[in-house]
Chains A and B, each alone.
Chain A
Amino acid sequence: MATMVVNMIPNSLSGETNQDSEPSIAVNPTDPRKIVATSFTPDPLGGANAPIFVSTDGGQTWTLNSIVPSVAGSAGGTLDISPRFSGASNRLYAAIIRAGDVLLNTLRTDDFTSNTVMTVLSDRDQVDQPWAEATTVRSGADAGQETVYVGNNDFNAPSDRTATIDQSLNAAIANPTFNSIRIERRSTGTAGQNGPQIRNAIHPDGIVYAAFYGWRAFDSTNRVTADVVVVRDDNWGSGANPFAALVDGGDNTAGMRVVQGITFTWNALLGQQRLGGDLSIAVDPNNSSTVYLAWADQQTAGYTLHVRRSTDRGATWSPDLLTITNAKNPALAINSASEVGFLYQQVTGTGTTQRWETRLRRMNYGQHWDDLLLANTPATTPAPQFQPYLGDYVNLMAVDRTFYGIFSANNTPDLANFPQGVVYQRNANFTNHTLLAGNLVTPVTVSIDPFFFKVSRQLPIGALSLLLG
């Protein structure tokens, strides 16, 4: 197994102390050397456009390219950002909550390395936490069309059912249309809305899943009661009643309630990071009937992640395959060998010795979870500059057999914190665990940085022998 972990802050920004939290990543499936990543990172020169992190060498080196519409002096560049490649080209999409006017923008560029600011495709207000997925239709009458799905919590939605997918089934044209699909069919009760996490998973055969928290109550102590709901569409979301293919027999309503009545406390803290729900969903690229789901709730032992699997398109679900306490930021992906990757961050220890452990678990052949500790970093330092401290989410993708991921963590240059090794682009002295400014002399305060990782499995020697005969 080959693992690479890279601190993504470029050398020219060695003096930076920004809290680069809430990371996301997009890998170009047609050329995985081309990767885009994002975090709450403002333009280093205070300009009116926010940067994306760009790599053209498979994540070994990173450059910031300021091409996202923002506002000069913005603290985080955006208020949310989620990038995705089109699936069959170099074209990059992104969904953001724009700094300044707080509008949902869906963006596009044909060349993420150029200095041309991304084109705004859609523009509206009263929306939270957009999450982009995209692909290119491979066959049939719509072959070649690029489909983009932006999960979002839309407070313009009628009847307090705010879980929404903005979708364009032909996003590459000059002026694509984005339709807002309401995917909550039940009452949200006293909550009066859904949770902010609306996540999508696309299969090349046209099946699209989405998961969301169906909030049912929100009380005066910020306690949320919710169902975890999965919806499905079997033809790209193109029908008259999209995302209604999966019906829950319990109430004959579209949207399978995988669990009901879970609870958690909105804005509680774990390791200095706020909590408010966590979701991830991934579909097996080799079998659209197999789908994995991760969510978080509050258990007696603490804020807890659960991972379950359905092998019948979401109709029935396994018991927990993994149950992980004091953890958040789940991210699922499934590679071309149907191997499941599960990235998360977990607090261990107590008091001032608390640590954030960032782990990648992988399930082989539906049987065994291995465990790769990517980072083990202090959870009590540095002090938060704002929330989210590490991020309300992280991201994991798979291209071919390789997993590509991103997380944010304390950036102390200490190899003991990175058991798989780490490469820093910024100046750092690993002997005395000190960050250094561009002059290689001035110490730089520890902060939160984004870390890229790539994990590819090498064939076992036995398997290699078999292949070689």
Chain B
Amino acid sequence: MSLPIDDLKRQSTFAFVGTVKKLNEATMAQVPVTDSTAVVTVNEVLQAPPMLADLAGTDITVQLSSSQRVQEGQQATFFTNGWLYGESIAVQEVGHVEGRVGDERAAELAALSPGTPENRTLRLQQRVADADVVVVGTVSNISLPENRPRGPITEHDPEWREATIDVHAVEKGAPPQDRIKVAYSASDDVRWRNTPEFHVGQSGIFLLNEQEIPALETEMYVALGPLDYYPPEQIDFVRSVMEPGGQ
């Protein structure tokens, strides 16, 4: 019994159309071959990061879910997660649907593929929906937080800073003033790799949420996500996503 396709999408990170080439086989010596392993020829990648989006035509190993059986020669759309990456790759099936999904579903899956234009738009739509405020502005000052009790000294310290943003336009929400303060991390540590950093004079569009920061004993706007800031040249893109029916 297969899961509904929306559940398959939600539970997997790699989706492809494939043809079962050989049951009870594997493309990698590291995979223990059982009656749940199969060599599958990838016909079309529907959802994958760029590094693994070019697998069409190659054979990979699929560890089949116990709930569904497949036969050699059968084509299906497989919803999977990564397992082993070596000379070949092996993935674990969450489930599959018979044949190729329709174009509409394929487009939905493409939108889940990191790095694709569709994914960029989808993620921005979700970020806009979640944001308390979306403002166009310029950073006029950077300072250390006022209430800054010295926390532990670790490599993973966020190195909190406060950016003052002069608001030129409000695209969403109602910021309390035309000058707002935003907390962000100035750390280069791997923990904060995907967070935006700011400097005085930097303009752009800021997508912000107000939240409590226990370390600073305050609640304020924060920019900690990779989609919390877009540079000026992308303001039109952000606005287009915000328009009803946009992109």
State the A residues within 8 Å of B (CB). 10-13, 15-16, 40, 43-47, 51, 54, 56, 61-66, 72, 75-76, 79, 97, 99, 102, 113, 115, 126, 128-129, 153, 155, 162, 191-193, 196, 218, 266, 274, 276, 384-388, 392, 425, 437-439
Contacts and interface: CB of A to CB of B under 8 A. Distances in A.
Contact of B81 (A45, A276, A439): A45
22 contacts: A10-B85, A10-B86, A12-B86, A12-B88, A15-B54, A44-B52, A47-B13, A47-B81, A63-B85, A64-B85, A75-B191, A75-B194, A97-B156, A102-B156, A102-B191, A113-B30, A115-B83, A128-B152, A155-B154, A196-B155, A386-B188, A437-B54
B13 A63 contact: no
B155 A276 contact: yes
A438 B60 CA distance: 14
B190 A79 contact: yes
Contacts of A438: 54-55
B225 to A, nearest CB: 11
Contacts of A218: 153
* A interface secondary structure, majority: loop
B153 A266 contact: yes
Given A43-B82, A44-B49, A45-B48, 5 more contacts: A44-B82, A45-B49, A75-B193, A76-B193, A392-B155
B66 to A, nearest CB: 13
A72 B155 CA distance: 22
In the A-B complex, the 6 residue pairs with the smallest Cβ-Cβ separation, listed nearest first, are A63-B86, A45-B82, A75-B193, A64-B85, A76-B190, A386-B193
B28 interface: yes
A359 B186 CA distance: 33
Interface residues of B, number: 37
A249 to B, nearest CB: 30
Given A113-B30, A218-B153, A276-B155, A12 B85 contact: yes
A173 to B, nearest CB: 27
Best-surrounded residue of A63, A66, A276 (most CB of chain B within 10 A) = A63
A44 B51 contact: yes
B232 interface: no
B63 interface: yes
Contacts of A99: 191
Interface in B28-68: 28, 30, 48-52, 54-55, 63
Given A45-B81, A64-B85, A439 B154 contact: no
Contacts of A44: 49, 51-52, 82, 85
Contact of B84 (A61, A64, A153): A64
Given A75-B194, A387-B155, A387-B190, A45 B87 contact: no
A16 B114 CA distance: 14
Contacts of A113: 30
B77 interface: no
Best-surrounded residue of B81, B83, B84, B190 (most CB of chain A within 10 A) = B190
A387 B189 contact: yes
Contacts of B170: none
Contacts of B78: none
A388 B155 contact: yes
Interface string B71-113: 0000000000111111111011000000000000000000000
A128 B191 CA distance: 12
Best-surrounded residue of A75, A115, A126, A162 (most CB of chain B within 10 A) = A115
Contacts of B184: none
Given A47-B81, A386-B193, A193 B152 contact: yes
B221 interface: no
Best-surrounded residue of B92, B114, B152, B155 (most CB of chain A within 10 A) = B155
A51 B154 contact: no
Contacts of B49: 44-46
Contacts of B88: 12
A385 B154 CA distance: 19
A11 B87 CA distance: 5
Nearest to A77: B190
B14 interface: yes
Contact of A54 (B30, B89, B92, B189): B30
B127 to A, nearest CB: 14
A128 B155 contact: yes
A191 B89 CA distance: 48
Best-surrounded residue of A162, A386, A392 (most CB of chain B within 10 A) = A386
Given A44-B52, A274-B155, A276-B155, A65 B193 contact: no
A266 B155 CA distance: 9
Nearest to A22: B190
Contacts of B191: 75-76, 79, 99, 102
A392 B191 CA distance: 14
A43 B51 CA distance: 12
A62 B194 CA distance: 28
A201 B150 CA distance: 33
Contacts of A75: 190-191, 193-194
B156 A155 contact: no
A13 B85 contact: yes
A407 to B, nearest CB: 18
A63 to B, nearest CB: 3
A192 B192 CA distance: 24
Given A45-B48, A193-B153, A218-B153, A40 B190 contact: yes
B86 A62 contact: yes
Contacts of A384: 188
B193 A45 contact: no
A411 B228 CA distance: 32
B92 A386 contact: no
Contact of B83 (A66, A266, A386, A425): A66
